Each structure stands twice: as C-alpha cells, then as structure tokens.
Amino acid sequence: MRASVHRFTMRDPGDVSELAAAIHAGKVNPAHIVAVLGKTEGNGLVNDFTRGYLTQSLKLLLAEQLGSSMEAIGEKVIFVFSGGTEGVLTPHYVVFCVDPTPVASVNGGKKSLAVGTAFTPVLKPEDLGRMAHVNSIADAVRAAMAQARIADASDVHFVQVKGPCVTTERAAEARARGAQLITADPNKSMAYTRVAGAFGVAAALGELPPEKIREDAFFSRLDWFSERASVSSGVEVLVNEVMVLGNSAAWASDYVIAHRPMVDALDVNAIYTALGDLGISALGDNTAPALGRIACAMVKCEPDASGYVRGQRHTMWQDGDINAQRHIRGAVGGLVAGVIADTRIFVSGGAEHQGPPGGGMIALVAKAA
Amino acid sequence: MRASVHRFTMRDPGDVSELAAAIHAGKVNPAHIVAVLGKTEGNGLVNDFTRGYLTQSLKLLLAEQLGSSMEAIGEKVIFVFSGGTEGVLTPHYVVFCVDPTPVASVNGGKKSLAVGTAFTPVLKPEDLGRMAHVNSIADAVRAAMAQARIADASDVHFVQVKGPCVTTERAAEARARGAQLITADPNKSMAYTRVAGAFGVAAALGELPPEKIREDAFFSRLDWFSERASVSSGVEVLVNEVMVLGNSAAWASDYVIAHRPMVDALDVNAIYTALGDLGISALGDNTAPALGRIACAMVKCEPDASGYVRGQRHTMWQDGDINAQRHIRGAVGGLVAGVIADTRIFVSGGAEHQGPPGGGMIALVAKAA
Amino acid sequence: MRASVHRFTMRDPGDVSELAAAIHAGKVNPAHIVAVLGKTEGNGLVNDFTRGYLTQSLKLLLAEQLGSSMEAIGEKVIFVFSGGTEGVLTPHYVVFCVDPTPVASVNGGKKSLAVGTAFTPVLKPEDLGRMAHVNSIADAVRAAMAQARIADASDVHFVQVKGPCVTTERAAEARARGAQLITADPNKSMAYTRVAGAFGVAAALGELPPEKIREDAFFSRLDWFSERASVSSGVEVLVNEVMVLGNSAAWASDYVIAHRPMVDALDVNAIYTALGDLGISALGDNTAPALGRIACAMVKCEPDASGYVRGQRHTMWQDGDINAQRHIRGAVGGLVAGVIADTRIFVSGGAEHQGPPGGGMIALVAKAA
Amino acid sequence: MRASVHRFTMRDPGDVSELAAAIHAGKVNPAHIVAVLGKTEGNGLVNDFTRGYLTQSLKLLLAEQLGSSMEAIGEKVIFVFSGGTEGVLTPHYVVFCVDPTPVASVNGGKKSLAVGTAFTPVLKPEDLGRMAHVNSIADAVRAAMAQARIADASDVHFVQVKGPCVTTERAAEARARGAQLITADPNKSMAYTRVAGAFGVAAALGELPPEKIREDAFFSRLDWFSERASVSSGVEVLVNEVMVLGNSAAWASDYVIAHRPMVDALDVNAIYTALGDLGISALGDNTAPALGRIACAMVKCEPDASGYVRGQRHTMWQDGDINAQRHIRGAVGGLVAGVIADTRIFVSGGAEHQGPPGGGMIALVAKAA
C-alpha cells in the first residue's frame, strides 16, 4: 500500500478546481481518496458555513468523477475542515489517498506514512460526552490503526476525530424518550465531544492509563491529555469519523510523519524539535531547502485559560470583537509559518485535553529524505 | 548621561499603578521621563480610544507628581501608543528616561543606549504629506540625533515619529484660505503623514539618496524605504514628535540597541539576526537565559499588498470582520513572541516605506551583556 | 399569466428543504421559477460565501427536480442574495414564479403583480461602470418590462439588477488587449456597477431625463437617483441580470406591489405610506391583521455619508469592528420589522443613486385585499 | 426643588467640551449635578474602555469646576454609561441636575419630574447576587424615592441601578476568609448583579409580591420582572448606585416622565403608547413638532433567548463576529429612533428580569406640554 498527500489551495470555499485539475491530469486517483483535511476562510465559529460549502463542493466533484451519489461519497470519505485563516494562514485542503495495490518491496523495512480510517456507529444523544462515547472512539481508533497496519501505538503521530453534537431536534427526541443529556447546549455539547474524543484517543494509544479515563476528569484534569488527538465536532455528522496517521513498515509511501506536544503558544522549541525528528535542520533559517520536504502541517492550540502566557497577561478572553480562538490561531499560525516558511497550515483551536493546557501539538508530514 | 528603559503592564488603559509604584519606590524619576511607547488593548483603528485614555491617565499621574499642568506634560514628553494586542500580545508601556547628570567615565568608549527627542513646528494642513513635511521631520531627526550625541547615522537603530493629520476642521480652515490639500480624508492623510515620516527619517539617516526623496515616490516606489523608521499619525497632535534611539559612546547607559529589516511577515531569520547583533544566542530555544536581557521590543509590519506571502494567498485584505492590520499584528506578534519568549512587544502596522514592502523591521533594546 | 411569491426560511445557507417540501407538495412548480431573492446570514461583504453556498444548494435542488444541469439553471433563473441578517432580520429567500398559462378573465382590468426578467450580453471589462454599461442595463429593463407587459413606467415598483465586476483575471485580460479600465479594484468596480445599474434603471423608467444620464454624475450628483432600483454586483456573474416587478392589468396574480423612497434611515413615514398604498392600515399598531397580507418586503439603505442622521452624529463610518453596511442594515431592518411585525425583510446596503442620499427605498408585495 | 435634564453629544469619549461650555454659559450649575447617564461608542462588552474614559474626563472637568478631588466627585455623582452606539445611535450623555432651592408655587399640584439618588453600603463579595444584595438595593430604591418625594410607587417610571461584581482579587479575598461565592466568573457575576437589581427594584416598587422575591427565581422565572428597572454592573464600583426618576407634585420641574414595557424587539406599539402618555401624538409621522419635547430617551432590550422573534428565527446568538447585545441595540435603537426622529437614545442590553423576556422597556422624559 502507498499513502500519498496532495495539498491544494482555493480562491474561495466553492473552488475545487485544483483538485479537479489534478484528477484530470492523473495525479490524483479519486477512488483512492480516503480523507480531506483543510482550512477554510470563515470565522471557525458556529456561524461558519465555509466548511459546509467546501464539503458540498468536494462531494459534488467526487460524485461526478466517481459516478456515485453525494451521499455515498460522504459515507466513504472523511471531510474535516477547520474555519479561520487568521493572520498569514492560507485557505487550503490536503487530500489523503491510499493506493491499495500490493507493493513488492516495502522500503526494505523502513517505516513510511500509514493512513487508516474508521467510523463509529451512530451514538444516542444521551451517550454524547460520556464513557460510551469515549469507548466508541477508542474502538474506532484501534480499528483505524489495524487498517493502517500500525501495531505499536508509538508509531501513531496524529489522530483526527470528527464527532457529532446535540442539536435542538436531537435533544427533543431524547427528552421525549425520557433520556438524560449531559447538556442540551450545542456549543457545550461540541466541547464534550472534543473531550470524549481526546480521552478516546488517549485510551486507544495508551497515553493515559485506564484509571484516568473517566468522566470526572473531563475539563477538570487538563493535565491529563492526548498529545496526538485533534478533535472537532459539528452538527453535520451523526457518527464519529476517525483518521489515524502514523509510520509503518507495511507501507511503501514516499512520506513520513512526526509530532511534538507544544507546552504553550510560544513553544518554538517544539516546532524545531518536530522538524529535527524528520531530519529537517532549519534552526533560525527558514530558507533552508530541506523545509521544502514538508507536505502537510497540522497544529492544535488554545488561548491559555489562566489569562497569562509566560507570566504576562493576554487579552484574548476579554475581547468582545474577536473571538479568542481566532486570536490564538493567528498567533500560533504566525509562529509556525515563520519557522517553516509556509502558510498552508491546518491550525485548529479548541484543544481541551489535546496537548498540555494552554498549548497543543504540532504534526508534520514530509517527503522522505 | 544615562538612558534607562522601564517596562510596565496594566490591567486596563486607565491603570498606571505600576509606574506610580515605581516612582514612589524611587526607581523612576518622573522628571527624567522623555517618552512613553506602548501597546493598548483597543482595535488600533480610528475608533480606538484606549490610546487617548492611557495618555490622559499618564498625564494626570505625571502632572500630579511633577506639580505641573497636564498641558505642560504633553509639551515635554512624547506619548506614542499603538492600539491592538492581537493574539498573545500584552498591553504594556515602556518609559524612556534620560538622567542628564554628567557621568565621569562613560563605559570606556563603549557605545550604549542614547535617546534624543525633538518636536517640529506646527505644519500647515496643506503642507502635510508633502516635501515641506518630509524636510521638517528630517530636521527634527537631525536635532534629536544631536541631542542624543550620535554623529554617525549608522548608530541610529530606531526612530519613532508621531505626526498630525488633516481633520474636518483643519481642512475647512485651509480651504477657506484657498489652500490646496493633498487629501481631505483623515485616513488617507494619516497614511501620507506616515510616508512623509518615513522619507524624512530616510533622508536624515542617509538611507535614501537625496534624489529619491520626492513626492512622486510616495506609495509607488515601495522599494524605497527607511529600515529604522516607525511612524504613526493621529488627530491628537499638531506638531511632529520624534524620538531617536541609537548607541553612542557619549552615554553611560546600561542598555544597547540593535535592529534588522524584516523582508516579510515570516522573516524569522531577521529576528534571530537582531538577537545575534546583541550577542543573544537563542537559536531554536526560547528558554535561553540570555533572552532575559531584552528590555524592549519594537516591530513594524504590514499585510502584503500583493495578497500573497511566500507565494501563498492570504485573506487579510478580504476580511470584512477583522481589519487587515489586526491580522498582521497578531501573526507577526506571535512569531516574535515565540522566538524571544516574551509577549510584551510593540507591534505596529501601517508600515508603508518603513521596511521592505510586505515586511517591516524589528528593533530590540537589551541590557548590556 | 399569474405571478406568485413564495417565502421560505432556512436553518443555514445549505438548507433548501422548505422549497423542496413545497415542490413535493405541489405548491411550487419548479419549472415556473424565474428568480430567487434572499438574505443569507453572512457578513454581506467580500468574504461572504453564504450567497454562493445558497446559490449552489438551490441550483442542485432545481437541477435535480428539473432534470437539467446546474449551469442551465443558472442561465434561466436569477439568483440575488444579500448577505447580512443583522439585528432581528431572518435568513430567508423569496421564490418568484410565473405561470405562463393564459388566463380567461384577468381580474376585470384590475392590475396585479407582474414579473419580467432579462439578461444583458456579456460586457467587456472596459465597459463596466461606463455609459455602455448603463445603456445595456436600460435595454434589459425595457425588455423585462415588455415581458412583464408593463407599458407605463409608473407601474414599475422595483427593479433588481445584479451585475458583474472586474476581477484580477478580467483586468489582466483587458490590459493585455490595451484596454483602459475605469478601475481595477474589485470593490470600486462593484460600486461602479451599482451606479451604472441605478442610472440604467432611471433611464429606462424615465426617472431621470436623458441629459442627466452621464458618467460625470456618478458618485457626485447623489441627488440624481432611481427610487425603484436595487442593484448588487458580484464576481459570480458575467452578464447583468434584471428582474422588474410592477402591477399590470395583463396579469391575474393574487398579489400587488407598492414602493416609496426613504429620505433617510429614520423615515418611518415612508414605510407607513407604502403600507397605505397597499390599503394596509397599521398606524402605531403592528398587530393589525392586514399586515398579514404582506408577502415580501424589500429595503435599500445606506449609512449617511455626511456622518450625521437628522443632525446628530452617527459612528458607522468610524467603526473598525463592524462594517458600516452591517450597522445600517440592522438599524433600518429593526425599524421596518417593528412597523410590519415581520423580520423576513430583504434589506440591502450600498444604495448609491438608489433612493435619496443617506436614505433608500422600500418595496412591498402583498396579497390582494 | 427643580429637576432639569441636559443632553450633550461628544466627538469622542474624552470630549466633555459641550458640558464645559454649558457650565461656562451658566446653563448648568455643576454643583447641582446628581447623575450622568450616557452612551459611548465602544462595544459595550468587557473590553469597552470608553465608559471609563468618559467617566475620568467628566470627573476631571467637575473636580476642576468645583474645586474638589476626582474621588469626591465619584462619591457624589452617579455615572452610568452604556457602551455601544450601533446603527444610527449617537454618542451622548444626559446630565441630571437638582436645584434644591425651595420653590414657592409648585405647579399648582401638577406632578413633574422628580429625581432621587442613593448609595448602598459596600457589599461583601459573597453577598453579591443573593437576597442580601436584593434587599440592599430595595432599601436604596426606597431611600431614593423618599429623597425624590415620591410616595406612590406608580409615580416611579425609571430606576437606574449600577452595581459591583466579583473580580479576581475580590474572589480571592473572599475565599481566603472561607466565604462561598455564588460565582467567581466576573461575567456571570455581572449578570447576577443585574438580576439582584431587577428584583430589588421590583420589591421596592411592589411590582412583584414578596413571595416572588427569591433566589430560585433568578434566571428561571423570566416572566417575573420589573418594568422600570435598568441595571448595569461593572468592576469600577464597590457600592450599588441608584437613581429613581418619577413624577411628583412636590417638584416644580419643567419636565415629566413616562414609561412602557416592550413585549419584544418589535414592539412599536409600546413606543407610541409611551408617547401618548406624554401627550405626544406622532402616529406614523416622525415630523410631528411635539416630538421636539422629548428631552431624554431610555430603552432596555435583549435578544430573545428562544432564538425567535414573532415566530421567525434570528441569528443574534449564533454570530461569532458581532455580539448579540450589539445586534439588538442596533435594531431596537433603529426602531425607536425612527419613531421619535432622534438618535440620541440610551439603549442598553442585558435586560434579564427587566421587562418581559425578549423585550424590555422604554422610558421618555419630555418638556412639559
């Protein structure tokens, strides 16, 4: 098997012409696409419809190319879009392909990029944000690891989860059945889903021992976290979708992946260390040619809940004009872009239990050296 | 003479308690204060009143401490505040003091921080943004250099200019006299003042040859610029106020200054080079103890007018929700803060002819090693 | 012929389920749809993609229902969406249908709602915002009037125009041919198209005499205007699309239309007068049952360029956080909604030469009494 | 006694020149000023510093005029500023004066504007938002009524309360003493103070029976409310400040006051009814000369928590770019301004238990007919 990574930019969230051209040119086989991860130029908040618009545009293109329905595309391909290209960030999407053709020699035992995806069953609204949710995601992560032929959890470097949340309709249906919801507020429900995803990933990867996987730690033990989980939530899905990225000797990909936790929004050290993991040396010099090997960058971050970064006050939580998540994405995006000399970075906020509190993580996919 | 630099933070733009405490503790002599430079937590745009609020609060404090009127303080001390603490930036202000007491030995010929200030006469509205304005600022820069006892322009590392702009009233008065204004639009007038300031500084420092100091280059030859000028404009002043920072053997300060132009918003190389100029080595490691020597950081930046950064599209100019200057301050602020591990940075936008187009500059004051 | 008006709301810009249900229930014949006018919950500015998302969603639905391509739908149906549901406004769209079946008795000579549409040929970029553009739109308005069987211009009460603007690509193509553009700035080009549309409508309807239809009046003689034109511009169209609404004895519709110019953002008198034109009496009482006859409300407005409304300063133009057009839509929308007790109002800004300066117009379609 | 009302506008929150001029001209006696109520052009949210800036500027002016300290002014005069001049609203402030000179004939028994103010003792942080807080405010309302010589609660038409909230420091102090806070979150604490104020006013005026004045109704029984309370909260005060406005035969003022609850954001009927109470007839005609009698307009409003207004969805709560309170102020401000033809309106959000849920109230002071 071979995994490949294709990065495209767009003029607007309805513009999928670069992918169309790559398919037309034979560079991307649409039947091989398993996931699309991207940043769109909305606000990244509840009323950001750029994610839905891009999803619809990609489904239209792929349905046409594959002669299937848009629904069928949605059941097969994972679409995860984070809104908000604050500061220097560039709207873009990364297409993950898996060519299932068996490969004779697989890099002589060398590990290369492995991709696995999985879907959980539909969860009942009353299970969202509870242990049932955590366990369901942990199972899906294990299934995706198996599909990716990764046996050792330390070979997993990035797990994207996209899960459902309560809506007014779903809450009403549950109440009619006499079921108890953890919350009926869609925004809080989204946060619960993110946290359930983080604990699910941590459980599956053994990042936290079983006794720490419990509901009373949600939102309180922020020092218990996964450093590979990146979780988002939205009304547009009913099941949890999981993509695992790692390195495996069973694959013959031209890419490898590495990751590092970021201790806070200023953790430039983590970025340089992750580059080092990939054999990329660019200390203080973003014109280093090796940076050209980077195929895809993913960052998780959040405004420090304490109101301080390295002992100094920040104003993100008090700003009534710009949402705190927009502030932090712009700042951390600016830092990572400066170090790697590329603005096409998937920077996502809402990092509860995903990396150290006030920090997050960085994962980088690069062409093999 | 000794120059000193004192950095304070505040809870809100009306909070000058840290300076009050420093005065009370004898750490700052209010009579020595020549300038205050700071970042306030407004939007940095026309309707940002945090600058005026902090100015009024500081004048109130100093008037009380020095037994003079608030007006007298305004005529003696330069107040330059840039609104907007996007991302991780911290509201703060830096007080520049000059102790005029003659010093016996002045560091054995070693150069140290020199500060000079100057004010131009009141300009007529019709002279704003024209060669008369440029020449007037160039004269003030030379006067401030003389006051700072800096003979060699290459010893100047940062020149802050704050100049007036046209207002509805001033425009009406000029028109009544039959005078021709370059623009009657206050926003455009502010841009013209910034450009006149940049050319004035470039002329005084010899950064541009005399034949390039001309009106038809304004806004068109963006490749002609000063790499030490930082210019702001506002309705609150009638004269141009100038502060020159450099190094001079005539001073016995505990501080030194360095600067570097930034070629674009991703120019991490420039930041590391400026640190190197000060003897601070922190390549890829922002926990390096030498970073603790930094006393004050000043950055000028702007969203690239081309709509692209390093070949990739940015969305700053098209965003109807967040002003482009807010975007760029957050991104470049995040980059600099990550490298120096400090969020107290004076990051200012509107960098026309102040550094390379799409870029800007960084200046750092540090305790002598 | 019969014209009908169908108003639908949506959960998000991708939700066209209410129209789908109406088609399914036989209430709307998709083959009769000639135009869709609506408000989407974006910011109404350059980076508002909710308009494109709704257009794509509606085209998908109609293509499916009519067994045609999405392109064919776009060539036949006019889609005009204004972003921004500030304040109490409700995201909604109004579907205009024309049933071409000849009707035996046409209301006994009574005039009822008439709808006509027309498209101009593709304009060259260098013609945008010039007399060629004005004339082309005037021709299209006359064609739409003829289609609507309206002979007397005083029977026309609302003309919606949607026209193209310059883009980077179109500007480059024009320059390569040596053509001169009136502007290469997309935002300014959009304003020129709005003005060309306003003068085109005014010319066709005789609202301005021929000698006042001239380029040097654009943006300067704001007292020369059409009081029925509502013009928008966008990169998504290449031709000008025109919809004329009026009353005609040749139609057997169940609806009638009226309009009034608004002299400023406070012109509550105009709203009550327009209601009176329709025989709706609701003076000071928005619980009046007759208000239930209103089928569709359209308002054009703009922030007064003087900075004052009825002698008092407004802050819309100085606000760096909220765009001036968002402010005015919220305020005028709140006023109209309060008077008619309905928040489903098409409120559009950018009203240069469309109604009195600082004001605009209101048009109301109502069920016949 | 005579109460008078003086309305001033300003260029920016630091501009108190109109009041200074009125004092200089002898139109306002600074010693008579008891309260200032105003709207400033900030965002009206946590990081709105325009309120503090205007307060400081007014205190500076009055301290200078009265030869007292700024602190003394703050202990004597009530300053209540609401940020946010969305839409057509005009930044302005209204100065309430009381001339204590005994008047021979007091309008022949006719009731006229009466003003009373009172301050509560300092509340302990643990008492905020509890019955102790409610009772303390009720006592102050009664004291202010007594000062205003209003015996019958039905003669009270507007009660402004400004109360303290928990801050990080105050919360820490309370915790150190082992005290239990109702909340340590400043934003929630502000909401609790508004609710305690509403119930305190309702108790003092008898708008709610004693058995309904209880903590478990806070935020839950939104149908229990005061229709005269307007409550704000902020970190800048330690005591609760109360101003009561009503009509009393003991006063010889040239003004009268009326109020009406508003059932929702579209309640134009309430506005016309309040005008009618003052003998102002302007049904559907805002050019009616009688509107010129209005001296001061105060409105309380809030975005309907249900997400619907008159059965139609609004988008205020989902908007990540513009805060819901800014939306509603712009819409309701636009409605009231259109009806009364004046944009100088004190429109304040956060109306929990202050008027019907989703609605609020309007109070108007007018020159006697």
pLDDT above 90 covers what percent of chain B? 92
Residue of C47, C318, C319 with shortest CB distance to B320: C47
Over range C194-207, report the average pLDDT.
98
Whether C56 contacts chain A with CB within 8 A? yes
Which residues of chain D neighbour C342 with C-beta distances below 8 Å? 310, 312
Say if the Cβ atoms of A12 and C42 lie within 8 Å.
no
- For CA atoms A237, A239, A245, A248, the dihedral sign is negative
Whether D283 contacts chain C with CB within 8 A? yes
Task: Using alpha carbons, list the distances in angstroms from residue B188 to A259, B47, B128, C304, D117.
Answer: 47, 15, 11, 20, 47
Q: Which residue of C has its CA nearest to D87?
A: C327
CB A242 within 8 Å of CB A117 = yes
Over range B277-292, report the average pLDDT.
98
Whether C90 contacts chain B with CB within 8 A? no
Task: Using alpha carbons, list the distances in angstroms from residue D247 to A335, D92, D208, D340.
Answer: 62, 24, 21, 22
Helix (H) or strand (E) holding C360: strand C360-367
C127: Cβ–Cβ under 8 A, 6 or more apart, which residues? C133, C136
Over range B77-84, report the average pLDDT.
96
- DSSP string for residues in C19-58: HHHHHHTTSS-GGGEEEEEEEESS-SSTT--HHHHHHHHH
User: Is 70 exceeded by the pLDDT of residue D17?
Assistant: yes
Say if the Cβ atoms of B266 and A316 lie within 8 Å.
no
User: Of B238, B174, B163, which is closest to residue B196 (Cα–Cα)?
Assistant: B163
Dist. CA C214–CA C202, nearest whole Å: 11
Task: State pLDDT tens for residues C103-162.
Answer: 766 567 899 999 999 999 999 999 999 999 999 999 999 999 999 999 999 999 999 999
Side chain identity, residue D68: S
B361: Cβ–Cβ under 8 A, 6 or more apart, which residues? B227, B228, B230, B259, B260, B261, B262, B270, B299, B300, B351, B354, B355
CB B53 within 8 Å of CB D60 = no
Give me the pLDDT at residue A185, please.
85
User: Is 70 exceeded by the pLDDT of residue B124?
Assistant: yes
Whether C55 contacts chain A with CB within 8 A? no
Active-site position among C59, C162, C248, C253: C162
Whether A11 contacts chain C with CB within 8 A? no
Side chain identity, residue C224: W
Q: What is the dihedral of CA B172, B173, B175, B177, to 10 degrees?
A: 160
Task: State pLDDT tens for residues A194-207.
Answer: 999 999 999 999 99
User: Is 80 exceeded by the pLDDT of residue D104?
Assistant: no
Side chain identity, residue B162: K
Dist. CA B25–CA B34, nearest whole Å: 19
Q: Which residue of B has its CA nearest to D167?
A: B11
User: Of B299, B317, B300, which is closest to residue B308 (Cα–Cα)?
Assistant: B317
Over range D289-316, report the average pLDDT.
97
| A105 phi/psi in degrees, rounded to 5 | -95, 130
Q: Residue B25, Cβ neighbours under 10 Å: how many?
A: 8
Over range B56-67, report the average pLDDT.
97
Active-site position among C232, C233, C253, C348: C232
| B160 phi/psi in degrees, rounded to 5 | -95, 130
Whether C12 contacts chain A with CB within 8 A? yes
User: Of B43, B44, B40, B46, which is closest to residue B13 (Cα–Cα)?
Assistant: B40
Dist. CA B252–CA A240, nearest whole Å: 66
Locate A258 and state its tokens.
């590495």
A291: Cβ–Cβ under 8 A, 6 or more apart, which residues? A275, A280, A282, A340, A341, A342
Chains that touch A (3 or more CB pairs under 8 A): B, C, D
Which A residues, 172 through 191, put their C-beta within 8 Å of a C-beta on chain C?
none
Give me the pLDDT at residue D235, please.
82
Task: Using alpha carbons, list the distances in angstroms from residue A176 to A170, A183, C271.
Answer: 10, 15, 45
Give me the pLDDT at residue B314, please.
97
The question of whether D220 is a catalytic residue gets the answer no
Task: State pLDDT tens for residues A121-165.
Answer: 999 999 999 999 999 999 999 999 999 999 999 999 999 999 999
Side chain identity, residue C70: M
User: Is 90 exceeded by the pLDDT of residue B194?
Assistant: yes
Give me the pLDDT at residue C105, please.
65
- Which residues sit opposite B364 in a β-bridge? B258, B297
C64: Cβ–Cβ under 8 A, 6 or more apart, which residues? none
Which residues of chain B neighbour C47 with C-beta distances below 8 Å? 315, 318-321
Average pLDDT, chain C: 95
CB A125 within 8 Å of CB A170 = yes
Q: Do you know the residue count of chain A?
A: 369
Give me the pLDDT at residue D108, please.
74
Active-site position among A57, A112, A232, A248: A232
Tell me the pTM: 0.97
Going by pLDDT thresholds of 50, 70 and 90, the confidence category of residue A28 is: very high
Task: State pLDDT tens for residues C286-345.
Answer: 999 999 999 999 999 999 999 999 999 999 999 999 999 999 999 999 999 999 999 999
- Among B313, B321, B326, which would you mutate to test the C interface (most chain C Cβ atoms within 10 Å of its Cβ)? B321
Dist. CA A29–CA A99, nearest whole Å: 9
User: Is 70 exceeded by the pLDDT of residue B150?
Assistant: yes
User: Is 90 exceeded by the pLDDT of residue B352?
Assistant: yes
D113: Cβ–Cβ under 8 A, 6 or more apart, which residues? D3, D5, D245, D246, D247, D251, D253, D254, D255, D256, D257, D365
How far apart are the two ends of chain A, measured CA to CA in Å?
19
Which D residues, 21 through 50, put their C-beta within 8 Å of a C-beta on chain C?
41, 43
User: Of C165, C33, C162, which is closest to residue C100 (Cα–Cα)?
Assistant: C33
Over range C248-254, report the average pLDDT.
96
Whether B281 contacts chain A with CB within 8 A? no
Whether C169 contacts chain B with CB within 8 A? no
Over range C78-91, report the average pLDDT.
97
Average pLDDT, chain D: 95
Give me the pLDDT at residue B50, please.
96
* Interface predicted TM-score (ipTM) of this complex, two decimals: 0.96
Locate C75 and state its tokens.
């060539």
Where b means 16+ CB within 10 Å and e means fewer, A162-199 reads: bbbbbeeebbeebeeeeeebbbbebeebbbbbbbbbbb
Give me the pLDDT at residue A170, please.
87
Give me the pLDDT at residue D236, please.
79
CB B205 within 8 Å of CB B141 = yes
Query: Radius of gyration (Cα) for chain A, nearest Å?
Result: 19
Task: State pLDDT tens for residues A112-123.
Answer: 999 999 999 999
Dist. CA A114–CA A106, nearest whole Å: 12
Tell which wins on pLDDT, B108 or A354. Answer: A354
CB C123 within 8 Å of CB C206 = no
CA within 13 Å, CB half, D340 = 36
Say if the Cβ atoms of B46 and C315 lie within 8 Å.
no
Give me the pLDDT at residue C107, please.
64
CB B197 within 8 Å of CB B229 = yes
Helices of type H across A148-267? 168-176, 186-205
Task: State pLDDT tens for residues A69-107.
Answer: 999 999 999 999 999 999 999 999 999 999 999 876 656
Give me the pLDDT at residue C106, please.
59
Query: Coil, helix or strand for A94?
Result: strand
Locate B330 and state its tokens.
């957050």
Say if the Cβ atoms of B12 and D50 lie within 8 Å.
no
Over range C24-31, report the average pLDDT.
98
HEC assignment per residue over chain D: CEEEEEEEECCCCCCCHHHHHHHHCCCCCHHHEEEEEEEECCCCCCCCCHHHHHHHHHHHHHHHHHCCCHHHHHHHCEEEEEECCCCCCCCEEEEEEEECCCCCCCHHHCCEEEEEEEECCCCCHHHCCCHHHHHHHHHHHHHHHHHCCCCCHHHEEEEEEEECCCCHHHHHHHHHCCCCCCCCCHHHHHHHHHHHHHHHHHHHHCCCCHHHCCHHHCCCCCCCCECCEEEEECCCCCCCEEEEEEEECCCCCCEEEEEEEECCCCCHHHHHHHHHHCCCCCCCCCCCHHHHHEEEEEEECCCCCCCEECCEECCHHHCCCCCHHHHHHHHHHHHHHHHHCCCCEEEECCCCCECCCCCEEEEEEEECC
Residue of B266, B318, B341 with shortest CB distance to A338: B266
Task: Using alpha carbons, list the distances in angstroms from residue C352 to A174, C245, C359.
Answer: 52, 20, 9
Locate C260 and state its tokens.
């009034």
Query: Radius of gyration (Cα) for chain C, nearest Å?
Result: 19
Whether B291 contacts chain A with CB within 8 A? no
CA within 13 Å, CB half, D223 = 0
Give me the pLDDT at residue C264, please.
98
Residue of B41, B52, B321 with shortest CB distance to D53: B52
Give me the pLDDT at residue A122, please.
94
Distance from CA of C41 to the nearest CA of A (A): 8
The question of whether C232 is a catalytic residue gets the answer yes
